[in-house]
Amino acid sequence: MSTAAIVVIGNEILSAKVADENGPWLSRELRALGVELRRIETVPDEVPVIVDSLRRAIGSAKSVFTSGGIGPTHDDVTIAAVAQCFARRVVTDDRILSSLRSHFGERLNAARRRLAEVPEGAIIDWCPGSLFPVISVENVAVLPGPPMLFQAGFARIRDRYRTAPIFTRALYFAIGEGSLAEHLDAAVAQFPSVAIGSYPRFDDSDYRVKVTFDGRGEEDVRRAAAFVRARIPAEAVLREE
């Protein structure tokens, strides 16, 4: 089973200066690829905290993505954290450096040279014409924070992660969770391969509860939804999607 974890790095998100777009965006992409996202951690620009978070992400999922903390300034510490996590040195990548040299010419100062620093032995997914390669170490892919760059970076490596799809059905009910719970319990027991979620609404939407059925086996998903549906009075079932 293909699983993933995301580590979102940046004081700007924790201090509410910027809303994170990359976690939600990548969640949707991974879902479409059939990858099960196991956790998202949003952490500050501090190497020890990032390393701890990376270790947990690596321990809990097959693929790990970082967002942010890439660049030439003092608060860009993701490369150092990834290197430390894998006990590797930070080295200068010649190909990135030469690309930076041709772009910046005489303006290639010490700060900009930092953009060529990578954990030793990293895989560099290069895209001609872009100054931002995607840097990977083992199962950790390092993506830049600005959403446009994050998305462009992921697009370059996306096909690596494609796996068997997750099938889903949803039932919408006119009755509350308290009336549904025992039937959902029965379905959970009957269909262990199907993940069943129950989501009540308390606003003015046209349903009171949405119940979702997710799984790798399309037939089991369909049967689990039918099983619940058969136990509920027809007038309480608004629709199935």
Which C-beta is closer to a copy of itself: that of 98 or that of 121? 98
Both structure tokens of 61: 């999922």
Q: Report how far Cα 230 is from the mean position of its chain's Cα atoms.
A: 35
Considering only CA atoms, give the Rg of the chain. 22
Minimum distance, C-beta of residue 4 to a copy of itself, in the bound complex (Å):
9
Interacting residue with a copy of itself among 43, 77, 118, 171 (CB under 8 A): 43
Q: Is 14 in the site for a copy of itself (CB under 8 A)?
A: yes
**Hey, CA dihedral for 61, 156, 31, 222, is it positive or negative?**
negative
Strand partners, 125: 134
195-200, strands of its sheet edge to edge: 195-200, 209-215, 167-173, 237-240
Comparing CA positions, the residue from 185, 172, 168, 186 lying closest to residue 235 is 172
Tell me how far apart the alpha carbons of residues 27 and 92 are, in angstroms, rounded to a whole number.
32
Which C-beta is closer to a copy of itself: that of 60 or that of 121? 60
Per-residue x/- track, 99-118, a copy of itself (CB under 8 A): -----x--x-xxxx-xx---
Q: Is 197 in the site for a copy of itself (CB under 8 A)?
A: yes
Only one of the segments 120-128, 134-142, 194-202, 216-224 lies at the binding site for a copy of itself (rule: CB under 8 A); that segment is 194-202
- Sequence length of the chain is 241
Cβ proximity of 234 and 177 under 8 Å: no
State the residue for tokens 């509860």.
209
Only one of the segments 30-38, 82-90, 135-143, 231-239 lies at the binding site for a copy of itself (rule: CB under 8 A); that segment is 30-38
Tell me how far apart the alpha carbons of residues 131 and 93 are, in angstroms, rounded to a whole number.
13
Q: Is 165 in the site for a copy of itself (CB under 8 A)?
A: no
Interacting residue with a copy of itself among 24, 121, 165, 192 (CB under 8 A): 24
Tell me how far apart the alpha carbons of residues 73 and 184 are, in angstroms, rounded to a whole number.
52
Per-residue x/- track, 138-157, a copy of itself (CB under 8 A): --------x-xx--------
Only one of the segments 39-47, 117-125, 156-164, 225-233 lies at the binding site for a copy of itself (rule: CB under 8 A); that segment is 39-47
Both structure tokens of 196: 């069943």
Q: Is 180 in the site for a copy of itself (CB under 8 A)?
A: yes
Which C-beta is closer to a copy of itself: that of 53 or that of 84? 53
Residue 239, H or E segment: strand 237-240
Interface with a copy of itself by CB under 8 A: which residues? 11-20, 23-24, 27-28, 30-31, 36-45, 49, 60, 71-76, 104, 107, 109-112, 114-115, 146, 148-149, 166, 177-182, 184-185, 188, 195-203, 212, 214
